[in-house]
Amino acid sequence: MNKRNGFSQIFWGLAIIIVGVLFLAQNLGYMDSFPFWNYLPALLIILGLYQLFVNRFHAWVGPVIIILVGSFLLMATLDIITWSTFGTMIWPTILILIGLSIIFRRSSNDREFSVDSESQFNTFAAFSGQKRKITSTDFKAGEATAMFGGIELDLREARIPNPPARLQTTALFGGVDIFVPSDWDVRMDVVAFFGGADDKRKDVVTSKTTPDLIVSGTAMFGGLEIK
């Protein structure tokens, strides 16, 4: 059973409705001269900015990648750059961001399974798998980005004295599994495009006034599960 942020559901539901209405109007001949399809990549830019706002700019790698992809796509569809230029720009830019994420992440432990006791963490998996156990007694925030790879986060030994803690997740052709204590109230604010985000716990904790953990992010051709 999912626990989702109401604003996120309403916002993206309205966005899809508006696209559908515009598409219908064009098919009926009312908007033949307006190429609204060229502006659809702007939704990715809005999504990335929204994710930065939701996680209060604590995590940036996944949202910035989405913003840049949307920006380059928008410039290509509006003929500001050519599609060949898009191809030559997008992958080097993503690689630069991946490198910066690796440099500035809080843990430099490259073992298959690592333990992190810091209050904040950053983990990235590209064409590989990462396992991270968080044992912080004052867990505040984290970021997990999986591109063509998988991440397993174990938060069962973490403690949150000042809830909510925030976790920004991005799954692009990959997956993120999050294990949490049985008594945590987890709120999900994840936008899924051709992917899924689910709370797989059999017994979901009754909603508290303040949730223990807020999981925000994007799943595109990937998935996120709370276990």
pLDDT digits (tens, 9 = 90+) for 45-64: 887 787 777 666 666 767 78
With beta carbons less than 8 A apart as the criterion, state whether 169 and 217 touch.
Answer: yes
Q: If pLDDT is split at 50, 70 and 90, which confidence band does 77 have?
A: confident
Q: Determine, yes or no, domain membership for 200.
A: yes
18: pLDDT strictly greater than 60: yes
Q: Which of residues 178 and 81 earns the better pLDDT score?
A: 178
220: pLDDT strictly greater than 70: yes
Distance CA 126, CA 4 (A): 27
110: pLDDT strictly greater than 60: no
127: pLDDT strictly greater than 50: yes
Long-range CB contacts for residues 91-95, cutoff 8 Å, separation at least 24: 93/68, 94/65, 94/68
Q: What is the mean pLDDT of the chain?
A: 78
4: pLDDT strictly greater than 60: no
DSSP bridge pairs for 134: 116
Q: Determine, yes or no, domain membership for 1.
A: no
Distance CA 60, CA 97 (A): 10
- Mean pLDDT, residues 211-218 taken together: 88
Overall number of domains in the chain: 1
Q: Which helix (H) or strand (E) holds 209?
A: none
Q: Determine, yes or no, domain membership for 159.
A: yes
Q: Which residue in 44, 168, 43, 193 sits closest to 101, CA to CA?
A: 168
Instruction: Look up the domain containing 32 and give its range.
Output: 6-226
Q: If pLDDT is split at 50, 70 and 90, which confidence band does 20 have?
A: confident
* pLDDT tens digits along 147-196: 777 888 999 999 999 999 999 888 887 888 999 988 888 888 887 777 77
pLDDT at position 56: 66
Q: Which of residues 184 and 35 earns the better pLDDT score?
A: 184
